[in-house]
Amino acid sequence: MSCNIGNVTYPDTIPGQGNLVFEASFESGNLGRVDKVSCSEYDLFIRPDTLNSKYRVWFYFECKNATESQRIIFNIVNFSKQRTLFEMGIAAPVVKSNANNSWARIPSRHIYYYRSSQHNDRWILSFAFIFESSDPVQFAYCIPYTYGQMQSWLNELESRKYTFFHRDLLIHTVQKRRVDLITIDGSSDTFQGSKKMIFLTARVHPGESPSSHVMHGIIEFLVSKDDRAQKLRKVYCFKIIPMLNPDGVYLGNYRCSLMGHDLNRMWRGPSEWAHPSIYAVKSLLTQYDNNPQAQTVIYVDLHAHSQKPNCFLYGNVSVTAVSLLFLFKKLFKNQKKFPFPVEEKSTSRQLWLPQLLSELSEDYSLEFTQFNTDVEKAGTGRRTMGELLSCLCYTLEVSFFSYRHVDSSGNGIQHCTPYLQYKYEALGEAFCRALLNFYEADCGIREVLLERPFKTFLPARAQKSLKKQARKMIQTVMIK
């Protein structure tokens, strides 16, 4: 399978051993140019996203022809993103060889992130690697999860002949790849009275491969024989789009689609031709929301984050409810005199899923969890669908690299652990278990003890904006 869009390819004639040769002309591959500095050092240039030179982050390439025990320094010299966890020393690319057929993190002691005067004062990511043989070795920004890999896995899931698992073609992409819709539902009918729905999407940004590994863990748990999975299938109907941007994933883009569009800024007015997956998913969500027999409870869009460790949720803000809550105690001593209904219960309910997930997963961070109204997030799936749907909408972010957690000794010491594939998948399972606990809380058979009030999850900018809005609302009522 080739992907000839400007990636380097193996030459027809292999040079003498010890001179590395590079290949990235495969699915999700990305490496645009290689400059040989010496036999032990190479400058590597990331190919920009197709039709959008702004984004140069994802890389995925293979090299071979090294001598045994040869030490090579690779310099990624044209990163477009400067603020990353590399500068904090808690990030590492991944490597896979024939000797070790699973992806591993490059040790932090072999990674350097610095400004280079030799490269026009740009930030450079350098990492060293010692080759065991001349066999091919693959390197990537994070653990890849390709479109072909997903298709093979979905084919295998179909072959298991689960009665509760259904795979449909939602729409084709611009390049005619499948956008799959997965339904997991343990009831006999799609809609049964009070049947509640959970809607999940992932991989709108093609370089954010951790979101696919988490989604893999979610789906594998949901189809398992685990008692909790069986109960989830009975109480919820799951609608899942595991890959929103197959073209971008296949082409090795980081942020954009084939046409250079950030699809997660197109939700307000998607084009059926240019943004078919967003157009179809938005239409489907709206259709379910208008169906009296279907109640969408939660919509979650899965992403990966390069500037923070751990995993965490972003949520929306009910401007009216939260603005009023900010000034309630200050302006009115007696609740009965308050001129608006106070929706404290609804804002607390938004915290249930973050709280429950934090209790089940050591890598979940309540510290990074936020509910915001940022202008730059307008047009995202979470914000747009939060305005249109009568359900809770979240973005689940998970770090490309690592998570901080307190060790089990009880002394409060924090450790930083690299994310590997199994841990991403374990997060998917924990997310499902949190959904089951959420259901029990919704039914009144479980109490969720919140560690913090809702307003503490609002960034300072959001608090300032909401307080300003509250004052305007109070003044309007006083005038009337």
Burial (CB count within 10 angstroms: exposed 0-12, middle 13-18, buried 19+), residue 455:
middle
Find the distance separating the first CA and the last CA of the chain, reported in whole Å: 69
Alpha-carbon distance 442 to 447, whole Å? 9
Measured in whole angstroms, the distance separating CA 23 from the mean position of its chain's CA atoms is 27
The active-site residue out of 23, 62, 208, 397 is 397
Exposure string over 138-173, b if 16+ CB within 10 A, otherwise e: bbbbbbbbbbebbeebbeebeeeeeebbeeeebbeb
Helix (H) and strand (E) counts in the chain: 11, 20
- Tell me if 242 sits within 8 A of 452, measured CB to CB: no
CA distances from 203 to 71, 214, 303, 431, 456 (A): 35, 11, 7, 17, 29
- Report the largest interatomic distance among the alpha carbons of the chain, rounded to a whole angstrom: 86
- Tell me if 149 sits within 8 A of 1, measured CB to CB: no
Give the CA dihedral 102, 106, 107, 112, nearest 10 degrees.
-170
| DSSP bridge pairs for 126 | 75, 112
Query: Does the annotation count 425 as an active-site position?
Result: no
147: part of which helix (H) or strand (E)? helix 147-159
3-class secondary structure, 220: helix
Nearest of 458, 48, 112 to residue 252 by alpha carbon:
48
3-class secondary structure, 324: helix
- Tell me if 249 sits within 8 A of 206, measured CB to CB: yes
Alpha-carbon distance 200 to 215, whole Å? 9
Exposure string over 257-279, b if 16+ CB within 10 A, otherwise e: bbbbbbbbbbbeebeeeebbbbb
- Tell me if 170 sits within 8 A of 212, measured CB to CB: no
Active site residues: 397
